[in-house]
Amino acid sequence: MTDKDYFRHFSLVYTDCSVYTTSGSPSTYYLTMIKQCINFKMLISVFLFSGLFFVQNIAVAEIKKTEPLSPALVSPIKVTMRTNGYTIGDLIDMHAVLQLKKGQVFDPNSVPLKGPVNNWLDLREVKFQSSNNKDESTKVTLDFTWQIFGTVEMAQTIFIPAIALQTIPPEKGNTKPLTLTIPAQGIHLSPVLPPQIEEKSHRPHAPPLSFDTQTPLTIALILLSLGLLLGGFWLWLQDKISWWPRNPGPLTKLARQIRQHRESTFSMKDLRNIHSGLAASAGQSLYPNTLQDLFEKCPYLISEKLDIAKFFEDSWQAFHGKNAQANAIDVNTTKAWIQRAAMAERLMRRQLRKRKVKAVHLSKKVHA
C-alpha cells in the first residue's frame, strides 16, 4: 500500500490533494504536516492579533479612569497647587479655575465653609471670584487655604478630599442643579521627626490627669467649719443663744446650777444658793421685811412674785424655824419659776443693752 492509498483509507476528509511521500510511520507523517502548516506568516499574525488585543484593553482602562466632563463646564477644572514639601502645621494654597458654559450660573452657597474637614485637615480660608468671558461663558476662580494638623511616620501621599460645587438651576427646563466636582488632590506629607531604627514599639501615651477631688472637698469643709464658727460667735455676741448667754445675770447663773440638780429635794446648800441669786439680783441682802426691794429693783420679776414670796417664806422657816425641813419646798415648782425668771432677766438685759447702744449713737451725733 502506498502513502496515498494509506491516507485515502484512514483520513475522513481526504480531498485528493498532493501528498508528500515519506518512508516513516503515520505519526511521523502527521508531525511533518504540522511543521509545514506552522510557518513564519502564521506566527506574525498571532503576535499582531495579541498586541492589538492588549492595546485595546489598555485604551478601555484609560477611558474608564478619565472622569466625564460636566455638562455645565466648557473645559476640565484646572487645579494649581504645590504637591510636595509639606509637614504638620503647613498651609496649602490651592487655586481652582472653572469655565462654565453660556447660561450656567455658579451657586456661591455651594462653596464650603471654613472649619475642620477631618481629624487632620482644616479649611482656613476660601476666596471666590466670578467674571464673564467674551463668548458669554463664565470664569470662576476659587482660592482655598488648607492647614495640616497631622503627621506621619514615613513620607507618604495623602489626599485633600474632593469638593462638590453646584450651579443655580434655571427657572425653566431642567430645574435640577448641576454638580461640579473638584477632584481630590494628592500631596506628599513628610514626617516631623525621622523614624527611630532602634525603637521597635512606641511608648504608651501618658494617662490623662485625674481631677483632684480631695483638695476642693477639704477646702469646702474648712470653709464650712469656719463659717459655722463665725456664725456661732456672731450669735453669741448678739446674745441669741439661750443656753449660752454672753453676759449672764445672777438668775441665769442660778438657773444653770439648778438645771443640774437631779434629786427630789433641796439641801440647805441649794436653798442658800437660791437666796444668793435673789440677793445678787436685788443688789442687797434680802429678809422677809426687805423682799419688796427685789421687785422694785427687778420689775421683770413681778410676774413671779407669788412663787418667789412663797419660796422665800418656806426657805426662811427652814433656816430659822423649829423642826422645819426643806422637804416642804417643791423642787419642780422652784425650778420652773427660776427658769422663767432667768429668761425674763435675759430679755431685760438685752433691752438695756440696746438702749445703751442707741444712747451712744445719739451722743455721737450730738457731738458731731
Q: Is 108 in the same domain as 41?
A: no
How high is the pLDDT of residue 33? 59
Q: Which domain holds residue 346?
A: 250-367
Residue 333 lies in a domain: yes
- Please tell me whether residues 156 and 101 are part of one structural domain: yes
Residue pair 291/312 in contact by the 8 Å Cβ criterion = yes
Asked whether residue 42 is assigned to any structural domain, the reply reads: yes
What ranges make up the beta strands (E) of the chain? 78-81, 91-100, 105-106, 115-116, 121-132, 138-148, 156-160, 163-168, 179-182, 185-189
Note whether 106 and 19 are same-domain residues: no
Grid cell 465653609 is found at 113
For the record, the C-alpha cell of 367 comes out as 457731738
* Single residue among 142, 163, 189 that ends a domain in this structure: 189
pLDDT value at 20 more than 60: no
Q: What is the pLDDT of residues 279-321, one digit of tens each?
A: 888 888 888 888 888 888 888 888 888 998 888 888 888 887 7
Task: Examine the domain organization and report whether 24 and 110 are in the same domain.
Answer: no
Number of domains in the chain: 3
* 146 is a domain residue: yes
Assign 14 a pLDDT band (cuts: 50, 70, 90): very low
254 and 363 in one domain? yes
User: What integer is the mean pLDDT of 4-12?
Assistant: 44
Burial of 323 (0-12, 13-18, 19+ CB in 10 A): exposed
The answer to whether residue 198 sits within a structural domain is no
* Whole-number pLDDT of residue 13: 42
346 and 289 in a single domain? The answer is yes
- Shared-domain flag, residues 110 and 57: no
pLDDT of residue 47: 66
* Range 18-25 average pLDDT: 46
Mean pLDDT, range 42-61, rounded to an integer: 62
Q: Looking at per-residue confidence, does 319 or 215 come out higher?
A: 215
CATH of the domain at 171: 2.60.40
Q: Please give the DSSP secondary-structure letter assigned to residue 73.
A: B
Res 329: pLDDT: 83
Q: Quick check: is 89 in a domain?
A: yes
Shared domain for 59 and 94, answered yes or no, is no
Cα 261 from Cα 143, distance rounded (Å): 97
Question: How far, in Å, CA of 148 to CA of 82, rounded?
Answer: 14
CA distance 141 to 129: 5
Residue 307: burial class (beta carbons within 10 Å; 0-12, 13-18, 19+): middle
pLDDT of residue 1 exceeding 60, the answer is no
Q: Are residues 58 and 86 in the same domain?
A: no
What's the pLDDT at 193? Answer: 75
Same domain, 20 and 84: no
Tell me whether strands 163-168 and 179-182 are parallel, antiparallel or unpaired: antiparallel
77, 97 Cβ separation under 8 angstroms:
yes
Phi then psi dihedrals of residue 283, to 5 deg = 80, 15
56 shares its domain with 83: no
Residues 297 and 352 in one domain: yes
Residues of the chain with pLDDT > 90: what percent? 20
Domain membership flag for residue 181: yes
In a domain, 314, yes or no: yes
pLDDT band at 204 (very low <50, low <70, confident <90, very high): confident
Contact 72, 104 (CB under 8 A): yes
User: pLDDT digit string (tens) for 106-149?
Assistant: 999 999 999 999 989 999 999 989 898 888 888 999 999 999 99
End-of-domain residue from the set 39, 63, 87 = 63
Residue 177 lies in a domain: yes
Residue 325 CB neighbour total at 10 angstroms: 10
Domain final position from 189, 216, 241: 189
